[in-house]
Amino acid sequence: MDNHERSTLEQILAMLHGLIGRDDAKADFRPDLSLVSDRPDSSGTETLIFPSRIFAEPENEKSPPASAEGTEKEKPDEDRREGRFLKFTDKELQKMASYFKKDYLIHAGEVAHIRQKENGTFEIRYRRNGRDISRSGKTVEIAKARFMAALVTPTEKQRKKKVRFSEYTLNWMESVKKNEIKPITYNSYLLVLNNYAFPYFGKTEMKEIHPMLVQNFMNELIEHDTYRTAELLFSILKQVFDFAVAEDIIPKSPMAPLRKPRYEKQNGTALTKEEEKAFVLRCLRGGKFGIAYLIILYTGIRRAEYQTIELSEEWITVVTAKSRRGLPAKKRRIPITPMLRKYLNLLDGGLPVISLDKLTHRFPDFAPGHHLHELRHTFITRAQECGIPRELVSLWAGHRADNTMTSNVYTHFSDEFQLSEAKKFLYEV
């Protein structure tokens, strides 16, 4: 190698050292980029030597001697300083709480964060779904063992805490469910809880509610033919207890071994003219419940829409119960038909205020062998029998548009036409 080539190579080496932030390679690197001929033990052969490691010293290499100001403590590498995720074996996962195992598998192991602190100890932390579990140890093995124990063992505070079912459930309703469901659904949840669940075991501590207690509760509901209520309460209770397990309030859910009550939806059929006549007579003697049932019969509204009724001279306006979640509530109008108008004079002081649950439970007293939804079917049937167009009846009933009846068609019916057609709704019972 001539002097020109050597000079060029030395310039390249200096440039490389400068790019990586080390102008003085021999002071900051072991080994450094250099020529063999520059080393004391070289034979004079001018060969370029490349290092095997640049940023980390070999494990057996001693630290540089202390300077006059003292020895500077070596900084941890980037991986330790920024942290990483700890992996667990399948055997270890089997011993862990289900919530952690689920998160671990879904997120490909990136949930348990491990780092080495400045004092040399190792810390493992899990922050997810409202939990904050942190354990440390002098070694990774010690920290890992403590962390695993924390995952499966409730804290002392949680073990000693006494939480009543009603207290916990109401808090869950307010904090969790309120933002997930529509207000009308939220109110129906509160209604069945206050009327059925809370009187039965509302004052019982969460940890004392066992599967047989819940099963006996369900059996009592079914014995009283409240299948739909039992089905709804089963769903609510399962959500409540699953959440309590996730919070380590209880070790396991009492709902796990139970099976959901089966409710077979009844296909509605219209009342016959004879049944309708007997029903109307009972309603006229039935006080506020009778008036409410007559309004539902001659408007075809759904049970949940009853509490949203607004009365005017010619129309009854309700908030459609079957509006899609997340969209603004829709209102619809039903003309006051001759069949309904003759009973409106029974209203004294406005529309009777009745809970939806009571509307359902009192209905068999007025129409034995029938259910409340059949009044809606009766209205639709009678309206078509009176010659009112099917599309217009669907508009009044709040049916969702299909391929043959679009919402655009519905909007083409003028108020004058609707009020004129409503006059056809008159017959003898």
- Per-residue pLDDT reduced to its tens digit, 167-217: 999 999 988 888 888 888 899 899 999 999 999 999 999 999 999 999 989
pLDDT at 61: 43
Task: Give the number of other CB atoms < 10 A from CB of residue 273.
Answer: 13
185's enclosing H/E stretch is: helix 183-192
The answer to whether residue 415 scores a pLDDT higher than 90 is yes
The answer to whether residue 262 scores a pLDDT higher than 90 is no
CA 113 – CA 175 distance, rounded (Å): 28
Q: Which residues pair with 11 in a beta bridge?
A: none
Residue whose pair of structure tokens reads 């034995």 in the numeric block: 368
Mean local confidence (pLDDT), 308-317: 92
Contact 299, 411 (CB under 8 A): no
Contact 278, 290 (CB under 8 A): no
pLDDT at 299: 95
> What band does 301 get if pLDDT is binned at 50, 70 and 90?
very high
Helical segments of 193-257, H only: 198-201, 211-223, 227-246
More confident residue, 55 or 259: 259
The answer to whether residue 32 scores a pLDDT higher than 90 is no
pLDDT at 203: 92
Mean local confidence (pLDDT), 316-335: 78
Residues 369-411 pLDDT 10s: 888 989 999 999 999 999 999 999 999 998 865 444 334 444 5
pLDDT at 13: 67
The answer to whether residue 291 scores a pLDDT higher than 60 is yes
pLDDT at 222: 78
More confident residue, 350 or 28: 350
Q: Which amino acid is it at 346?
A: L
pLDDT at 35: 53
More confident residue, 49 or 372: 372
pLDDT at 274: 94
Residues 62-84 pLDDT 10s: 444 444 444 444 444 333 334 58
> What band does 130 get if pLDDT is binned at 50, 70 and 90?
low
Residues 6+ apart with CB under 8 A from 254: 209, 210, 211, 213, 214, 241
> What band does 133 get if pLDDT is binned at 50, 70 and 90?
confident
The answer to whether residue 359 scores a pLDDT higher than 60 is yes
The answer to whether residue 40 scores a pLDDT higher than 70 is no
pLDDT at 87: 87
Residues 9-18 pLDDT 10s: 777 767 766 6
Q: Which amino acid is it at 280?
A: V
Average pLDDT, the chain: 78
- All structural domains of the chain, each given as residue ranges with its CATH number in brackets, are 3-49 (no CATH), 82-153 (no CATH), 165-246 (1.10.150.130), 273-422 (1.10.443.10)
